Amino acid sequence: IVGILASIAYPAYTEAVLKGRRAQARTALLELAQQQERYMTQFNCYLPFTTNAAFAGNATAGCDGTAASKPASVPFKVFAGESQAQAVYRLSASACTGSGGANLAINECIELTATPIQADPTVGSLLLTSNGRKSCTGSAKSSNPALCWP
């Protein structure tokens, strides 16, 4: 009886944990979008950055698109979770891709990405652009998009 209950309860528990982590990632992306908009009003461009394994944000370019004008450090939270040690997603920002496949100018659009630290094949990475597009990279993108952004 205990084995049967465990076989039913464990998958439900695992899915509930994933839902909670996804909610944290969505919240972190929305907060990052607000921070990017504030940065845009101050410097007239968005700030693209990547995160490494230690969750340090590394700006990839400055407002003129060159590495020479990039800021010394990224002034944003670059992870989703209570702390870096308990982070469940890494955040990054890059220029949006236009309809022709080329990157748009960094003062036109920014794409924010939350990449899970532990695999989430259903949703994968969560995406949010400054022009309002919301998406994900996992299997839910085509089968059940409401799992990505309810």
**pLDDT tens per residue, range 118-137:** 999 899 999 999 999 999 99
| Least confident window among 11-15, 75-79, 111-115 | 11-15
Q: How far is CA 21 from CA 13, 58, 113, 132, in A?
A: 13, 24, 14, 22
Span 57-90, pLDDT tens digits: 888 888 877 777 888 888 899 999 888 888 999 9
Q: What is the pLDDT of residues 14-59, one digit of tens each?
A: 889 999 999 999 999 999 999 999 999 998 999 999 987 667 888 8
94-101, long-range: CB within 8 Å, 24+ apart, which pairs? Answer: 94/48, 94/50, 94/60, 95/46, 95/48, 96/129, 96/130, 96/131
- Examine the pLDDT at 108 and tell me if it is beyond 80: yes
- Segment (H or E) for 7: helix 2-43
Q: Please state, in angstroms and rounded to a whole number, the distance separating the CA atoms of residues 116 and 21.
A: 9
Place of tokens 């982070």: 87
pTM of the model: 0.88
Q: Which pair of structure tokens corresponds to residue 71?
A: 């800021």
Q: Count of CB atoms within 10 A of residue 114's CB?
A: 27
Q: What pLDDT is stored for residue 53 in this prediction?
A: 65
